Structure 1
Amino acid sequence: MFVQPVTLRDHGLRLEPLALAHEDGLRAAAADGELWTLRVTSVPEPENTRAYIETALKMREEGHRFAFAVIDDASDRVLGSTSYHDIVPAVQRVEIGWTWYARSVQRSHVNTTAKLLMMGHAFDTLGCRVVGWRTDNYNFASQRAIERLGAQKDGVLRGHALRRDGTIRDTVMYSMTAGEWPEARAQLLYLRGRHG
Structure 2
Amino acid sequence: MDHVLPITLELNGVRLEPLAPHHAEGLRAAAGDGELWTLRVTSVPEPDEVDGYIFKAIEMRPTRLAFAVIDIASGAVIGSTSYHDIVPAVDRLEIGYTWYAKSRQRSHVNTSCKLLLMTHAFETLGAALVGLRTDNFNHASQAAIERLGAKKDGVLRHHAQRRDGTVRDTVMYSIAAGEWPEIKAHLRYKLEQHKAD
Query: Percent identity between the aligned chains?
Result: 69
1:11 aligns with 2:12: yes
The residue aligned with 1:67 is 66
Cα deviation for residue 195 of structure 1 reads 1.2
Scaled by the length of structure 1, the TM-score of the pair is 0.98
1:180 aligns with 2:179: yes
Cα deviation for residue 27 of structure 1 reads 0.3
CA distance in 2, matches of 1:164, 1:122: 30
Q: Mind listing any 5+ residue stretches in structure 1 that lack a counterpart?
A: none
The residue aligned with 1:25 is 26
Cα deviation for residue 185 of structure 1 reads 0.5
Q: Which aligned runs of 4 or more in structure 1 are off by greater than 3 angstroms?
A: none
Cα deviation for residue 35 of structure 1 reads 0.0
Supply the RMSD in Å over aligned alpha carbons.
0.6
The residue aligned with 2:88 is 89
The residue aligned with 2:53 is 52
The residue aligned with 2:193 is 194
Task: Report the AA paired with residue 57 of structure 2.
Answer: A
Q: SS of the residue aligned with 1:117? A: helix
Q: SS of the residue aligned with 1:67? A: strand
Task: Report the AA paired with residue 187 of structure 1.
Answer: H
Cα deviation for residue 64 of structure 1 reads 1.3
Q: Mind listing any 5+ residue stretches in structure 2 that lack a counterpart?
A: none
Task: Report the AA paired with residue 164 of structure 1.
Answer: R
CA distance in 2, matches of 1:2, 1:119: 16
Cα deviation for residue 192 of structure 1 reads 1.1
Size of the aligned set, in residue pairs, is 194
CA distance in 2, matches of 1:37, 1:165: 10
Scaled by the length of structure 2, the TM-score of the pair is 0.97
